[in-house]
């Protein structure tokens, strides 16, 4: 009887231990930004021009173009960005020239932030950043947020992005929920 009880207890404890390890592994499982995910970031969070979030947004496009002469359209793969941001969250910012009548003109560049797994860049909230300059080689109908494989793109732990986004309220590196 005692042996059966010990076997059952060991089995239960082993199950709890392995379940906990599986949960931890899922939390830290590596995620990758794909072209499909980039294309599917279609939830419009807003259009911004000039100074916003009490900070200058330097995504003005080419040199000499001020933030007041651009429109930045922000999209995500979630309905809204809250104070707790899950792994796999994607936020994009398309920067357009602002026409004299206030409408969106030429697209200059698209930026993206992708929330990676725990440990990707723990000091900076585990965000991967991507800069995708507008290109004649990208079909913006099929790839509205740019192309990950286009020439001239830069991605990773980008110091310029980190230094700016580190100034966002809270510790999430995101301005649209401040």
Cβ-based neighbour number of residue 78 at 10 Å: 16
Of 50-59, 112-121, 122-131, which range is least confident?
A: 50-59
| Interacting residues of 127 by C-beta distance below 8 A, sequence separation 6+ | 113, 114, 115, 116, 121, 161, 162, 165, 173
Spatial separation of the C-alpha atoms in residues 16 and 19, rounded to whole Å? 5
pLDDT at 54 over 90: no
pLDDT of res. 159: 93
Spatial separation of the C-alpha atoms in residues 25 and 21, rounded to whole Å? 6
pLDDT at 16 over 80: no
**For residue 168, how many C-alpha atoms fall within 13 Å in the half-sphere facing its CB?**
18
Of 53-57, 117-121, 144-148, 161-165, which range is least confident?
A: 53-57
% pLDDT > 70, the chain: 75
Spatial separation of the C-alpha atoms in residues 87 and 127, rounded to whole Å? 9
Nearest Cα residue to 46 out of 166, 177, 171, 168: 177
| CATH code matching the domain that covers 31-165, chosen among 3.50.70, 1.20.120, 3.30.930, 3.30.420 | 3.50.70
């Amino acid at each position: 009887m005692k042996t059966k009880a010990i076997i059952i207890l060991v089995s239960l404890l082993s199950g709890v231990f392995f379940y906990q390890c599986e949960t931890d592994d899922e939390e830290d499982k590596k995620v990758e930004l794909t072209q499909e995910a980039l294309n599917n970031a279609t939830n419009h969070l807003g259009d911004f021009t000039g100074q916003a979030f009490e900070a200058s947004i330097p995504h003005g496009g080419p040199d000499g173009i001020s933030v007041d002469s651009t429109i930045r359209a922000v999209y995500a793969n979630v309905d809204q960005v809250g104070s707790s941001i899950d792994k796999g969250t994607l936020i994009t910012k398309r920067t357009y020239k602002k026409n004299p009548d206030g409408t969106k003109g030429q697209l200059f560049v698209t930026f993206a932030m992708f929330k990676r797994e725990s440990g990707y860049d723990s000091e900076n909230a585990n965000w991967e950043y991507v800069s995708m300059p507008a290109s004649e080689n990208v079909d913006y109908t099929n790839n509205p947020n740019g192309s990950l494989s286009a020439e001239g793109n830069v991605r990773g732990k980008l110091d310029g992005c980190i230094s700016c986004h580190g100034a966002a309220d809270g510790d999430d590196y995101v301005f649209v929920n401040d």
